[in-house]
Amino acid sequence: MRVFLCHSSGDKPPVRDLCRKLAADGFDPWLDEQQLLPGQDWSNEIVNAIHQAHAVVICLSRASVSKEGYLQREVKYALDAVEEKPEGTIFLIPVKLEECDIPQRLSRWQWTSLFEPDGYQRLVTALRRRAEGLWGGTAVRNPPRRLRSEKAAITTNQAKVMMIKNNY
């Protein structure tokens, strides 16, 4: 499940930690420094990533809630994207990295605090609930494994022929 991590550049260390934890739990987090390639138009890529995300986690700190700049634009893009979702859909999730106020424009969404003992688990629960709405419960990026008793989509020989044909 694609999860866009909206954050201030000043909050990179805790957001990197969050990214690692989400990836370890099977999610596909989108973090600018990992996804953007040299030469890409980062503004367009961020807008596309927000609109292609299954959920947007907005990481908040005392510094970020009062900071002017691109973070505020990312929040606006996320607010635009949430308007395209059915009512009641978990899509935008405010996350406090430290004790701070929730900005007024995000106050209608329930938040969680990563500095609280159950904060991260509450985030994971919300993301899994979102996945249930999308795919009936498969939150992780890895599809369910095929049982040996199930017939494979193609045979081993068919796979070999395809590989030879395509110069692999």
CA distance 60 to 67: 11
pLDDT, position 145: 43
67 domain residue, yes or no: yes
Residue 19 lies in a domain: yes
pLDDT band at 148 (very low <50, low <70, confident <90, very high): very low
- Alpha-carbon torsion angle 97, 100, 104, 108, nearest 10: 50
Q: What is the pTM of this model?
A: 0.79
The predicted model gives 111-137 an average pLDDT of: 93
26 belongs to a structural domain: yes
> Would 112 be classed as within a structural domain?
yes
150 occurs within a structural domain:
no
pLDDT of residue 146: 42
Question: What six digits make up the tokens of 54?
Answer: 């299954």
Q: State residue 26's pLDDT score.
A: 94
Q: Is residue 156 part of a domain?
A: no
- Contacting residues for 27 by C-beta, under 8 A, at least 6 apart: 1, 3, 127, 139, 140, 141
Q: Between 147 and 79, whose confidence is greater?
A: 79
For 52, half-sphere exposure in the C-beta direction (CA atoms, 13 angstrom radius) is: 10
158 part of a folded domain? no
| Cβ contacts of 113-121, under 8 Å, gap ≥ 24 | 114/14, 114/18, 119/95, 120/18, 120/21
Q: Does residue 6 contact residue 71 with C-beta atoms inside 8 Å?
A: yes
CA separation for the pair 113, 159 (Å, rounded): 48
Q: The domain containing residue 87 runs over which residues?
A: 2-143
Residue 159 lies in a domain: no
Q: What is the CATH number of the domain that holds 55?
A: 3.40.50.10140
Q: What confidence score (pLDDT) does residue 69 get?
A: 86
Q: 114 pLDDT exceeds 50?
A: yes
Give me the number of domains the chain comprises.
Answer: 1
The DSSP output letter for 116 is S
Q: Which tens digits make up the pLDDT trace of 54-83?
A: 999 999 999 999 988 889 999 999 999 999
Q: Any residues with CB less than 8 A from the CB of 19 and at least 6 apart, and which?
A: 5, 29, 31, 34
Helices (runs of H) and strands (runs of E) counted in the chain:
7, 5
Give me the mean pLDDT over the 130-146 stretch: 64
